[in-house]
Amino acid sequence: MKVRASITALGGYVPPDILSNKDFENMVDTTDEWIKSRTGIETRHILKGAGLGTSDMAVEAVKQLCAKRGISPLEIDLLICATVTPDHQFPATENIITDKLGAKKAWGFDVGAACSGFIYALTVGAQFIETGKHKKVVVVGADKMSSIMDYTDRTTCILFGDGAGAVLLEPTEEAQGLMDSILKSDGHGRHYLHQKAGGSVKPASAETVAQREHFVFQDGQPVFKAAVVGMAEVSAEIMEKNRLTSEDIAWLVPHQANLRIIDATARRMGIGNEKVMVNIQKYGNTTAGTIPLCLSDWETRLKKGDNIILAAFGGGFTWGAVYLRWAYTA
Q: pLDDT digit string (tens) for 249-282?
A: 999 999 999 999 999 999 999 999 999 999 999 9
Residue 70 CB neighbour total at 10 angstroms: 8
Q: How far apart are the first and last CA of the chain?
A: 26
78-82 and 107-111 beta bridge pairing: parallel
Nearest to 17, CA basis, from 115, 146, 140: 146
Q: pLDDT digit string (tens) for 311-326?
A: 999 999 999 999 999 9
Distances in whole angstroms, Cα of residue 319 to Cα of each of 85, 227, 312:
19, 8, 5
Q: Does domain 4-175 have CATH number 3.40.47.10?
A: yes
Residue 81 has a pLDDT of: 99
Residue 1 pLDDT greater than 90, yes or no: no
% of the chain residues with pLDDT over 70: 100
Query: Which of 81, 115, 157, 294 does the annotation list as catalytic?
Result: 115
Which residues on adjacent β-strands are paired with residue 142? 164
Does 21 qualify as catalytic in the annotation?
A: no
**Distance of alpha carbon 6 from alpha carbon 257, whole angstroms:** 26
Does 194 qualify as catalytic in the annotation?
A: no
Average pLDDT, stretch 69-87?
Answer: 98
Residue 65 has a pLDDT of: 98
Answer whether 189's CB lies under 8 Å from 315's CB. Answer: yes
Q: Give me the CATH code for the 179-325 domain, please.
A: 3.40.47.10
Average pLDDT, stretch 222-236?
Answer: 98
Q: What integer best gives the mean pLDDT of the chain? A: 98
Name the strand (E) or helix (H) holding 12: strand 4-13
Domain with CATH 3.40.47.10 in the chain: 4-175, 179-325
Answer whether 143's CB lies under 8 Å from 162's CB. Answer: yes
Average pLDDT, stretch 17-36?
Answer: 97
Query: Which of 255, 258, 279, 294 does the annotation list as catalytic?
Result: 255
3-state SS, 174-230, equals CCCEEEEEEEEECHHHHHCEEECCCCCCCCCCHHHHHCCCCCEEECHHHHHHHHHHH
**Distance of alpha carbon 137 from alpha carbon 139, whole angstroms:** 7
Going by pLDDT thresholds of 50, 70 and 90, the confidence category of residue 110 is very high
Q: Using the 8-state DSSP alphabet, how is residue 287 labeled?
A: G
In the three-class reduction of DSSP (H, G, I as helix; E, B as strand; rest coil), residue 25 is classed as helix
Average pLDDT, stretch 206-226?
Answer: 97
Query: Which of 21, 258, 279, 285 does the annotation list as catalytic?
Result: 285
Q: pLDDT digit string (tens) for 153-178?
A: 999 999 999 999 999 999 999 999 99
Q: For helices 259-269 and 220-241, what crossing angle results, to 10°? A: 30
Going by pLDDT thresholds of 50, 70 and 90, the confidence category of residue 232 is very high
4-13 and 17-20 beta bridge pairing: unpaired
Residue 236 has a pLDDT of: 98
Residue 263 has a pLDDT of: 97
Going by pLDDT thresholds of 50, 70 and 90, the confidence category of residue 118 is very high
Does 255 qualify as catalytic in the annotation?
A: yes
Burial class of 79 by CB neighbour count within 10 A (0 to 12, 13 to 18, 19+) = buried
Q: pLDDT digit string (tens) for 292-302?
A: 999 999 999 99
Average pLDDT, stretch 89-117?
Answer: 98
**Distance of alpha carbon 144 from alpha carbon 147, whole angstroms:** 6
Contacts (Cβ under 8 Å, ≥6 apart) of 272 = 266
Query: What b/e string do you get for 105-128 counting C-beta neighbours within 10 Å, with b at 16 or more?
Result: ebebebbbbbbbbbbbbbbbbbeb
